[in-house]
Amino acid sequence: MQVTALLSFAASCSAGGVMVLFKRDVLFCRRYPQLPCGRFELAVALAFLSWALSATSAIIMFCLLAAF
């Protein structure tokens, strides 16, 4: 479970980095308004939410495992 949480965190961080690159650094979203940048932002936010829930679950499972 901890490996899944770690991989989910890595994926959401890399997706967030790509979103910052597209939106703020190279202004890719302004140049090509037909691209769904808003949906990609939402996907990145949901990826971080998924990571937070997965990490919470991993910590709780680790505590339960240590309790026995």
Q: Above 90 in pLDDT, residue 7? A: no
- Angle 51-11-22 (CA atoms, 0-180°, nearest 5)? 115
Q: How many domains does the chain have?
A: 1
Average pLDDT score over residue span 27-35: 88
Tokens representing residue 66 in the block: 């240590």
Residue 59 belongs to what domain range? 1-67
Q: Which two tokens stand for residue 46?
A: 């949901």
Which tokens go with 48? 């971080």
Report which residue type is found at 42. Answer: L
Please say if the pLDDT value at position 1 is more than 70: no
The dihedrals phi and psi of 34, each to the nearest 5 degrees, come to -75, -10
